[in-house]
Structure 1
């Protein structure tokens, strides 16, 4: 009876600690979000710094080279966003006129087939201003993501400076324990798997962004580089990320060309998502880094609730990190299996 009481107390204590930690993270998201973004970016670029160091560059020089490249990319992205917002604002009257024409065409077509558009109040749903505000808000939200750029950059620098000495710190911390070799192996496997996951996800997101950019450029949709950048970033959000990324360019295609080409843009996004998200990425990931569909959906809701839009962006990386941590220890591997995808028994019975 005492054992059962003890186990129940431990479960309640664990749940209480979990609730307190989650509440603390949510309350401190002003600090937590830039830190998580910094860690995420640092994990992506750390292998490049280590590669430069292996090629003979001193650690500090390798770090400065990587940071210079990161700054260049940030400046280019900032310029792209700023110029796109400015150009969109200048073209806004023309876009509104075109969308008004498309709206009138749709209402006229529906009236022709006997649909009472006044009863349906379609004019409220097809107001040009609503679509224009949506696209403008999408562009402005990108600018707000770089407001903490300096804090994120400084955090990345310090993380990369510590990254070189982190393995030796782990060895020193574990050196006096009974089985330091297995502990070192667990840490190495944990870090390696996280880097492997983020490298694959970044590669597939980059491929998605490039294909989207080329597709929109061929079709003739304005700002193809911007929509490719959005597709790259939102590809980290599972399931709904690609849908959100497709909405602004599809709306813009409706304004520019009408519904036929807009449909082609939507189909193009769908094909890209099926190819990259459902075929290429699962094969590269393998089962060890995969998550069940239910876990992906729940993690999207949970991290979005805790950290807002950035939490949705990082929901899968954060959950995969937890899964990898559980998988790196024998006593918690069963939890990792529960979080993973369906186990298929290929053996013939």
Structure 2
């Protein structure tokens, strides 16, 4: 009897094609999909508050209202800080034109004394324009502010999901549906919550230390760069670089090369201690994604949802893993592939 099974190569190609269709579709509705995922992640993040209130037999309206208000106050506070600081940055940048010209003159003098031709230096300076970097920062901050200021949709979604959260949790734990899928979604919620809580705590620690260092060094707008460091902490692999470049560039214009080098050194020390040594001990294997998969997820979700996709890359990848891999008992090989660990070995 002939084997009628579908070739694995065909299944793989069909899976890739379906994934491309879904991703392109999500990109077309990114203005809706992004806030929906953001609201879902925020509801998951504050669900321990609801659980704590439920354990103390608080009324249902209080279990909904308290987590909802916590999230809304955080969002409003971040919007206010970014808006005010962004306005201050826009007013501050034009005052550094003379400093930039002085830096150019000093660089040309240094290059001449070390045998570098002015033509090569000018070409390099055209490529390295602090004004362009700071414009990029303004664009990034504008994108973040745009995300956060879409508060109406996010708040409505938050309220709806907060109202449904108690019932949804009971349905998932009591119904006799696909138990593998239910377990996978519960694992996704647990991993996402742990990732967000631990990352937020250490992100706040890093942000406060960065602000203290910038204040001591006299770099303008330390609160803005602290908030940027906190937000960039959720961006895997390149978040540290994104948080470092703007204050380092501003330190160069405001205090010179020495101040810039001190800012870079302070950021590196703070990041290495908090993010490289301490954070992994608390986060452990909560993410369950290999370094390669983390970087790929950053590229994919940023291209689909823009800046919000970069911030939500890890939760989105965990959700995708729960729906497509963890819910399938026969996909143990895929679990090992995305986590970078051999099945049953934990390493």
| TM norm structure 2 | 0.86
Output one character per residue of 1:273-316: Cα deviation in whole Å (capped at 9) or x when no partner. 32233222322222363322211122122222222222222222
CA distance in 1, matches of 2:200, 2:268: 19
Q: 1:174 to 1:80 in 2, by over 3 A?
A: same
3-state DSSP class of the match of 1:289?
A: coil
How many aligned residue pairs are there? 343
Aligned counterpart, 1:292? 290
Q: Are 2:333 and 1:334 aligned?
A: yes
Aligned counterpart, 2:216? 218
CA distance in 2, matches of 1:183, 1:304: 27
CA distance in 2, matches of 1:19, 1:89: 39
Q: What is the Cα deviation at residue 262 of structure 1? A: 0.5
Aligned counterpart, 2:238? 240
Output one character per residue of 1:173-219: Cα deviation in whole Å (capped at 9) or x when no partner. 426x7xx6x77655544432332232222223222222222222222
CA contact (8 A) 1:246 1:269 kept: yes
Which stretch of the first structure deviates more once superposed, 119-128 or 189-198?
A: 119-128
3-state DSSP class of the match of 2:220?
A: coil
Q: Are 2:190 and 1:192 aligned?
A: yes
Q: Are 2:136 and 1:114 aligned?
A: no
Q: How does 1:303-322 map to 2 (within 5 A)?
A: 303-322=301-320
- Structure with higher RCO (Cα < 8 A, 6+ apart): 2
Q: How does 1:52-201 map to 2 (within 5 A)?
A: 52-121=53-122, 122-125=124-127, 127=129, 129-174=131-176, 187-201=185-199
CA distance in 2, matches of 1:38, 1:86: 27
CA contact (8 A) 1:289 1:324 kept: no
CA distance in 1, matches of 2:237, 2:109: 36
Q: How does 1:41-56 map to 2 (within 5 A)?
A: 41-56=42-57
Aligned counterpart, 1:20? 21
Q: 1:16 to 1:153 in 2, by over 3 A?
A: same
Q: 1:142 to 1:191 in 2, by over 3 A?
A: closer
| TM norm structure 1 | 0.86
CA distance in 1, matches of 2:95, 2:9: 66
Q: 1:102 to 1:7 in 2, by over 3 A?
A: closer
